[in-house]
Amino acid sequence: MLVCVSWLTLGAFLSLLLRDHPRASRAAALICLAAGCLTGLVPALRVLSGAEVAPIHLPWSVPMGEISLALDPLSAFFLLPIFLVGLAAGVYGEGYLVASRGHLPTAAVRFFYFLLTASMSVVVCARNAVLFLAAWEVMALAAFFLVCAEDRRPEVRRAGLIYIVCTHTGILCLFVLFAVLGTRGGSMEFSAMSAAMPGPGPALTGLFALALVGFGLKIGFAPFHFWLPEAHPVAPSHASAVLSAVVLKMGVYGLLRFISFCPVVPESWGVVLLALGAASAVLGVLFALAQRDLKRLLAYSSIENVGIITMGVGLGCLGLSHGRPLIAAVGFAAALLHVLNHSLFKSLLFLVAGAFAQSLGGREIEGAGGLLRRMPRTSLLMWVAAAAACGLPPFNGFIGEWLLYRGLLGGELVEGARYAVFAAAALALAGGLAAACFTMACGAMTLGEPRGRAAGESRDPGGLMVWPMALLGAACLAVGIFPVPAALAAVRGAAVLGRLAPGADLSSVDGMLAPLAVVGALGACVLGLAGLFWALRGFWLRDRSVETQPTWGCAFSRPSPAMQYTASSFAQPLVRVFQGLLRTQVEAHPPSGYWPASADFLSRAPDPVLDRALAPASVVMETGLSFIRRLQHGRLQYYLLYVLVFLVLVLVWKL
């Protein structure tokens, strides 16, 4: 474990040292990345297959701090996305940095990328609160510098500001949380936290609220999601992939670790998490549907997916509070599985978006079109990832959702918690909307005719970018068809939280997982049957006439690419149905007169939290608090006076 972290840190510093030697630094970066991620994966996989890894304790000069690292199945499970996605996105990033031709500060991006990966692996392994918070802070700052890589553009600076404010609000909550726990328990070691947990009552609720806000601001479920669609789109694409696919999951890890401290889990936690998750799932995908910027769309879709994960966590909490270890295991396992699956397909989608953005020169969905013909490999991988994101079999997205449905509908919950079945309806709605959203995005971008010159001239990127994407796509399919190992690993991870007796109860969970093998096999059947029909079709058509003609346009003889259905029109029926929630703003000048010369249409979907609540609130605060500005006028004497007055006040108060 330490070896892996040191490889990654070495990579970070090498990329700084070698910044004047592009070839050497790229080679060094690739070697360090591969070595770091692969050495990191080995212990993770060993722990997930049941082995034990000895914890590490090293003294640290920081007060109350100790470098104590350990790997239990929960940590090991989170290492999988960190290293898998980290490796794929990192290799892709090398190609991306070359292809960006100096738009990006290469050495800095590399440095912070390594730092981000290394700090995340420390976050999940840390067993000491001080170490955890330090790694968390390094992770947040590295992510901030990645978001601000293109800091010349004003919208990037705005996004970076929003991100840093949010992440530090979250960290503030976490500081308070761990400070309280640490003082109660007398030690910052995680092993002492469980004993420090107060019994049910206001104190426990307060701690949960702190954890919910602190980790929630990282996870990005509603209403803490608003920074995500700002920050993720502006980062370099391989960094966005890691931010969206992995960094968000660190919040999930933190929340799960917090829950594992709690000897009792009140029912209300489960209800709150389930409700927040269901709301984020539906709202996230609805807002995704209203976006016209591919990376913003993907960011909103991440909100949907963390919503699904949060629902899983909520279900697990309900299971714990009702004393149903089986349901708890299924809920947490579903959340973990979806953590892995989402990280695979969402990172792939962001990488694809990066390849598209580089060849098109922009992230707009409407400007593309016909890319399947021009960039066949990238576009095909986009469809694979999209199908996975919609939760369709035979891809991996379905596996986690299936398990979650199984737990929600499963009927083991009683009393008030039995209303959890309605969350399944939200999940189904989100699934249907996701299908609409991704057919819209992929259809408008990759199918039909190109809507602009850039789209017509685009080409697939080089191998350094395509191969990592292909690896992720293959992983999506592999987990979808052979889901059992991943599911077993997730159950092992969930067992840490459910406090299941390792032997006896796991077998009953195994009974619940047994159908997953069939699900995978049937998924393979779909592919096999499709191959069979494809061959049959070829056989039927082998010596018949197969012609090509223009698309039928209702006898209109001169169709143009501009006549195609756009993404906005595709989304219109759903946007209209949910207008009350979305409140899209439309500026349109429809064509008028007999010989209309020009027409335009612009639609925007402002974020309900950021644009409708926080921005006006901050304006009010600014005007309301402007009198304080009078205190700051630049005269040294007055500042000294403030210090004096403050000191006197403190003295008066203390004595």
Partner 1 sequence: MNVLAAFENGAVLLLLPPLLPGIIGKTKAVFGGRKGPPFLQSYHDILKLVGKGAVYSRTTTAMFRLGPVLSLAALMVAGALVPLAHDSPTSFPGDALLFAYLLGLARFATMAAALDAGSSFEGMGASREAAFSSLAEPALVLALAALFRATGGLSLNRMFGGAQWSVSGAGLVLIGGGLFLVLLSENSRIPFDDPATHLELTMIHEVMTLDHGGPDLAFILYGSSLKLLLWSSLLVRLLVPLPPGALGWAVWTGGVAALAAAVGVVESSMARLKMTRVPQVLVLAVCAAAFAVMLALK
Partner 2 sequence: MEQTAQFLLVGTLFLSLALLGTASLSGCVGLVALQGYLLALLPLFIHREGLTARALLIAAGMAGLKGWLVPRVLLHAIREVRIRREVEPLVGYIPSLLIGGAITVVAFVLAGRLPIPPGLRSGLLVPVSLATMMMGLLLTVSRLKALTQVLGYLVFENGIFLFGLLVSRDMPWLLEMGVLLDVFVAVFVMGIVIQQISREFDSIHTDRLTQLKE
Q: What's the min distance (Å) between Cβ of 276 and partner 2?
A: 17
**CA 314 to centroid of chain Cα atoms:** 18
> Nearest approach, Cβ of 272 to partner 1 (angstroms)?
21
Q: Rounded CA gap, 128 and 70, in Å?
A: 10
Which among 129-137, 344-352, 519-527, 609-617 is the span making contact with partner 1, rule CB under 8 A? 519-527
Indicate the SS3 state at residue 59: strand
Binding residue for partner 1 (CB under 8 A) from 50, 200, 263, 553? 553
Give min distance, CB of 324 to partner 1, in A.
16
Q: Which value, in Å, is the radius of gyration of the alpha carbons in the chain?
A: 26
Q: Does 409 bind partner 2 (CB under 8 A)?
A: no
Cα angle 36-135-69, degrees, rounded to a multiple of 5 = 70
Q: Which of residues 146-165 bind partner 1 (CB under 8 A)?
A: none
648 binds, among partner 2, partner 1, none (CB under 5 to 8 A by kind): none
Q: Which two tokens stand for residue 241?
A: 């992939």
Cα 127 to chain centroid distance, Å, stands at 24
> Rounded to an integer, what distance in angstroms lies between the CA atom of residue 168 and that of residue 176?
12
394 prior amide bond cis, ω within 30 = yes
Distance CA 324, CA 316 (A): 9
Q: Closest distance between partner 2 and the C-beta of residue 582, in Å?
A: 13
Minimum Å distance from CB 384 to partner 1?
12
Binding mask 510-549 for partner 2 (x = CB under 8 A): ----------------------------------------
What CA–CA distances, in Å, run from 92 to 260, 469, 580? 36, 8, 41
| Alpha carbon distance 366, 561 (integer Å) | 11
Q: Is position 555 an interface residue for partner 1 (rule: CB under 8 A)?
A: no
Among 78, 226, 398, 482, binds partner 1 (CB under 8 A): 398
Q: Which of residues 268 and 632 has its CB atom nearest to partner 2 in the complex? A: 268
The residue count for the chain: 655
What mask of x and - would describe binding to partner 2 in positions 410 to 449, judged by CB under 8 A?
---------x--x---------------------------
Q: Which does 283 bind (CB under 5 to 8 A by kind): partner 2, partner 1, none?
A: none
Indicate which single residue of 221, 226, 258, 402 sits in contact with partner 1 (rule: CB under 8 A): 402
Interacting positions 353-372 with partner 1 (CB under 8 A): 369-370, 372
- Which residues partner with 293 through β-bridges? 364
| Comparison of 419 and 556: residue with beta carbon closer to partner 2 | 419
Number of residues that bind partner 1 (CB under 8 A): 86
Which among partner 1, partner 2, none contacts residue 580 (Cβ within 5 to 8 A by kind)?
partner 2
Q: Tell me: does residue 470 bind partner 1 (CB under 8 A).
A: no
> What character string, x for contact with partner 1 (CB under 8 A) and - otherwise, covers 471-500?
------------------------------
Binding mask 568-587 for partner 1 (x = CB under 8 A): -xxxxxx-xx----------
Q: In the chain, what is the greatest distance between 2 CA atoms, to the nearest angstrom?
A: 102
Q: Strands 56-59, 66-69: parallel, antiparallel or unpaired by DSSP?
A: antiparallel
Nearer to partner 2, 415 or 600 (CB): 415
Number of residues that bind partner 2 (CB under 8 A): 4
| 550 scored as a contact of partner 1 (CB under 8 A) | yes
Subset of residues 479 to 508 that bind partner 2, contact rule: CB under 8 A = none
Q: Per rule CB under 8 A, is residue 591 in the interface with partner 1?
A: no
> Structure tokens of 531?
């191959």
The residue within the footprint of partner 2, chosen from 536, 562, 577, 621 (CB under 8 A), is 577
Q: Is 150 helix (H, G, I), strand (E, B) or coil?
A: coil
Question: Residue 571 touches which of partner 1, partner 2, none (CB < 5 to 8 A by kind)?
Answer: partner 1
Phi first, then psi: what are they for 67, rounded to 5°?
-80, 90
- Using the contact rule CB under 8 A, the part of the chain among 455-463, 491-499, 516-524, 641-649 near partner 1 is 516-524
Distance from C-alpha of 403 to C-alpha of 333, rounded to nearest angstrom: 8
CA dihedral 104, 107, 109, 114 (to 10 degrees): 160
Q: Which one of partner 1, partner 2, none interacts with residue 215, CB within 5 to 8 A by kind? A: none
Based on the shown chain and the rule CB under 8 A, indicate whether residue 515 belongs to the binding site for partner 1.
yes
Residue type at 169?
Answer: T
CA separation (Å) from 301 to 137, 540, 639? 26, 41, 49
**Closest distance to partner 2 from the beta carbon of 580 (Å):** 6
Q: Are the C-beta atoms of residues 452 and 495 closer than 8 Å to each other?
A: no
Nearer to partner 2, 78 or 578 (CB): 578
What is the three-state SS of 454-488? HHHCCCCCCHHHHHHHHHHHHHHHHHHHCHHHHHH
Owner of token pair 């644009």: 611
For residue 40, give both structure tokens: 């990191």
Q: Is the dihedral of CA 145, 150, 154, 158 positive or negative?
A: negative
In a 3-state reduction of DSSP, which class is residue 628?
Answer: helix
Residue 400 region, left (φ>0) first, then alpha (ψ -120 to 50), else beta? alpha
546 is a contact residue toward partner 1 (CB under 8 A): yes
We find the least distance from the C-beta atom of residue 428 to partner 2, in angstroms, to be 14
Element holding 569 (H helix, E strand): helix 567-577
| Separation between Cα atoms, residue 121 and residue 489, nearest integer Å | 18
Site for partner 2 in 334-353 (CB under 8 A): none
Among 51, 203, 428, 640, binds partner 1 (CB under 8 A): 428
Q: Should residue 323 be labelled a site residue for partner 2 when binding is judged by CB under 8 A?
A: no
What does the block give as tokens for 33? 């990345």
- In the region spanning residues 155 to 184, those forming contacts with partner 2, defined by CB under 8 A, are none
**Residues within window 579-638 making contact with partner 2, judged by CB under 8 A:** 580
Q: Which CB atom, from 6 or from 439, has the smaller least distance to partner 1?
A: 439
439 contributes a contact to partner 1 by CB under 8 A: yes
Q: Give residues in contact with partner 2 (CB under 8 A).
A: 419, 422, 577, 580
